[in-house]
Structure 1
Amino acid sequence: MKNSGEVGARIRRLRRAAGMSQAELAGDGLSASYISLLEAGKRVPSADVLDQLAARLGCDPADLSGAPPEVSANEFQVELNYAEMALNNGDPDAAFEAYRLLQDKVSLADRPEVWYKAEYGMARSLEHGGRLEEAVTRYEYLHAASVDRPDMVPRLPTVIALCRCYRELGDLSHAIEVAEATLAELEKLQLRPTVIGIELLSTLVGVYMERGDMHRAAYLATQAIEQAGTVTDSRALGAAYWNASVVMHRNGNTADALTLIEKALAIYGEGEDQRALARLRNAYAMLLLQSETAKPEVARDVLEQSLTSLREVGSSIDIAYCLSALAQVELRLGNAEAAIGHAERALELLGPDHRLQSARNHLVLAAARLALGDRESAQDAYERGALMLEASEANRQAAFAWAELAEILKLCGEDERAVWAYRQSMRCMGHRETFLTGRKLTSRT
């Protein structure tokens, strides 16, 4: 309870506001002199006395004691539901504030289950809002807490979120380290496959693809499909098909990739997660665009359908990814100016944290500006995109970007810079730098 003097002052203030004398407030159960001692701060009232006084003054006992009113578990759940609704409706800022206000009402010692849920919600809100560095800080805290409080902190969802954020930030090694360590824990426990475990596998598949390690990606994708066949959740199988299709496409097997992603579309189409379905359509459109018999017009229709859905249920980052894909489609259709518009808008939405996807948009801008004859701007954009990819450890993609820049430089007559760009490409592919001495090719060690 607060200081007795503060309690006495509240009793006196509320008594006077009610127009009551000390005797009238005392009633039958208390004496006027006792009320006088209370108001002077010379006595500390018991909980029963506070209840009596509050009833006579027509207020809550907490108004007298200064203690915050008790909040029921149901009220906490209502506030959690509101914050979750804001997040699902694509308003991460409102969701973050709702989770923060809820966490301010509780302490970690008294209500750890509510406190951790609010902390996890704030981390998710930051991620959805594109504030990845801040999200990682909170996810890392939760990841550490999950070791001691597995009953309070969802370990696997936190690891998946960390892996996802590190991937977007371009820190592929850290993403793999976190996810692989958790997979090793699961294998050691020899647990039956679960939906969340399959989701972790699928997330890791994507990271290995970004790094260019297609063998490990293919192995994990096969594992995910096998495990998904043993659980009853159809969405787990859909997610496994989705990732396996991307692996097959990267390995040049586009026909089978299309078959798998169409199976995934059928599964997600029967569910209620419109955001996931729209994101899957984005991947499907890219397969249509990059297949042997490319269908850019169909891909554009699919992406426009996705964009309509994501503007209702997606985050700004989801919309940015869709615009990035539309930029590639417009470039393929010869609409360079439209491609530039989509890519630039995507970069605005992505902000500074989503380095890997931003790099891809710079490469689209480079190709579009080259198509418009602006070679200088194209060179700058290619170099920026290549450097961002390389910094993100996406060396295979960076190598292709450097090679494309070399071709542009060669066309511009800048042979020395073209050779330099080719060397950057070779380095990213893992080759040692070479130079010619006379007619003999010598490796530089």
Structure 2
Amino acid sequence: MDEPAEIGRRVQRMRAERGLTQRALAEPSYTSAYISTLESGKVRPSETALRFLAERLGTSYEELATGRPAHLATELRLALTDAQRTLATGDAAEAAVRYRQLLAEAERLGLDAERAEALLGLGDCALEAGELPQAIGHFEAAELLLAQEPLPRRARPIRGRAVAHLLAGELRYACYLLESAIDELNASGLADPEALVLLYAAVIGPYIDMGAHARAAHAAELALSLAPQVADPALVAGMHRQVARTFLTAGRPADADASLAKAQAIYRQLRLRTDLAHCHWMRGYVQAQNGDLVAAEVELRTARDILAARRAALYTAQVEVELADVLRRLGRCEEAAELLSGLLELGDSHGAVHAGGAHRLLGLMAEERGENKCAEEHYVQALTLLERSGASGDLADLCRLLGDLLRRTGRIEAALDAYRTGLGHRAAPGTTTLGPAPASPPRR
């Protein structure tokens, strides 16, 4: 709210423009003396008084209190929803440009909720681009703006920060952020399904990387059990956006805001599909480890289809490596090889680990066919790619496979060299130690 003198001048100007006397404006709830005192800036009006005066003057409370026409804030929220849709459909670079423009506009208008929404969007864009320090900065700024909001409202920046720290290799801190938020949600009775799906899905990655597979599987099961409560009807979201535009054109900003709120909720859920895909992926991984290969194939194909539709290329590639391994173990090696052939060109720093995984599997299949020379070529190619990506655990396993192959073919010195290389890539002691698992949601 502006200072009393500024509000008083605004009320006086609007009253004069409408040809109202102080008495006509004041009745029946206030006196002309009160209006005179207010217009002179000698009293700070209450929210109740401003809402009454706004209705009498044919304007909005927001415009009377701040000088900002209500439609400006609504138009900004509509633009944020459009940027959210752009990000949800996969074009992060385009969305980032728009979010930066909208952040500047929200700052100019002094709209903190919209600033937070723009910062969250920029954080998600930075995550997809691999710009981790920038992502952390955006999420921290959003969380600061939302500091007085309930925890479910703060789940998105918390999750964003945790994912950024995970991708930066800070596994234990990522777990700490997510588990603390999950425990607080469940203990406080604020077990919001969308917030919990976000947090449970995000904690799967650090659990896997730290070797806590049982805990990861439990988080995946909990997230998937909550998923039906956060459906994502994209067509309905589009309808709400169009309805909001109609209301805005008709001068009904409150109705436009209501439609936009529904659209934004749906687009947030659309972003959840990537997280839910990770849950299906995790479930398939666990089923494969337990030997239930048929069920694992179903889950991994579900994850792959969701991620491919989201154009999440690197995540899709990682799931395809897992799926190819399941197909290999089911005896469907031709299908597996066809799936892997599309991954061999992923040679950049992010895709090298997946291309390396594809070569590793092709090497295994070559060994099973008795084609040792072909297997060795795939293992060596995988070794080169994994060294580039810095995937220590995968390198250690690959060096063991290559060493075993060389030893079986009588090349003992070369095998010893491969084993020594693998020993140099063992995980550091203690990095898989975790504290207590977060509590499960209360039963209803």
Structure 1 pair 299/191, CA: closer, same or farther in 2 (3 Å)? Answer: farther
Deviation per CA, 1:44-84, whole angstroms, max 9, x where unpaired?
A: xxxxxxxxxxxxxxxxxxxxxxxx99671232124323423
Q: If the length of structure 1 is used for normalisation, what is the TM-score?
A: 0.55
Distance 2:116 2:353 in 1: 35
What is aligned with 2:397?
A: 400
Distance 1:294 1:284 in 2: 19
Distance 2:400 2:177 in 1: 32
What is aligned with 1:389?
A: 391
- Matched-pair contact (CA < 8 Å) for 1:365–1:381: no
Structure 1 pair 120/377, CA: closer, same or farther in 2 (3 Å)? Answer: same
What is aligned with 2:294?
A: 255
What is aligned with 2:353?
A: 359
What is the identity, as a one-letter code, of the residue corresponding to 2:212?
A: D
What is aligned with 2:95?
A: 95
What is aligned with 1:293?
A: 330
Aligned residues: 309
Distance 2:216 2:118 in 1: 34
**CA deviation after TM superposition for structure 1 residue 381, in Å:** 1.0
**CA deviation after TM superposition for structure 1 residue 424, in Å:** 3.3
**CA deviation after TM superposition for structure 1 residue 242, in Å:** 4.5
- Matched-pair contact (CA < 8 Å) for 2:123–2:160: no
**CA deviation after TM superposition for structure 1 residue 196, in Å:** 3.0
What is aligned with 1:60?
A: none
The CA RMSD over aligned residues, in Å, is 4.5
SS in 1 for 2:178: helix
What is the identity, as a one-letter code, of the residue corresponding to 1:180?
A: E
**CA deviation after TM superposition for structure 1 residue 89, in Å:** 4.6
What is aligned with 2:346?
A: 343
What is the identity, as a one-letter code, of the residue corresponding to 2:203?
A: L
Structure 1 pair 421/131, CA: closer, same or farther in 2 (3 Å)? Answer: same
Deviation per CA, 1:267-323, whole angstroms, max 9, x where unpaired?
A: x79xxx94289999767744542222143555688xxxxxxxxxxxxxxxxxxxxxx
What is the identity, as a one-letter code, of the residue corresponding to 1:253?
A: D
Structure 1 pair 110/191, CA: closer, same or farther in 2 (3 Å)? Answer: closer
What is the identity, as a one-letter code, of the residue corresponding to 1:381?
A: T
SS in 2 for 1:136: helix
What is the identity, as a one-letter code, of the residue corresponding to 1:224?
A: A
What is the identity, as a one-letter code, of the residue corresponding to 1:361?
A: A
- Matched-pair contact (CA < 8 Å) for 1:142–1:158: yes
Q: Is the aligned partner of 1:161 residue 2:160?
A: yes
Distance 1:225 1:82 in 2: 28
Distance 1:422 1:339 in 2: 24
**CA deviation after TM superposition for structure 1 residue 384, in Å:** 1.0
What is aligned with 1:319?
A: none
**CA deviation after TM superposition for structure 1 residue 116, in Å:** 1.4
Gaps of 5+ in 1: 1-67, 302-325, 331-337, 432-445
Distance 2:382 2:84 in 1: 44
Deviation per CA, 1:113-153, whole angstroms, max 9, x where unpaired?
A: 221111112112222333233212222333444433459x9
What is the identity, as a one-letter code, of the residue corresponding to 2:193?
A: T
Distance 2:205 2:86 in 1: 28
What is aligned with 1:124?
A: 124
SS in 1 for 2:79: helix
Larger Rg: 1
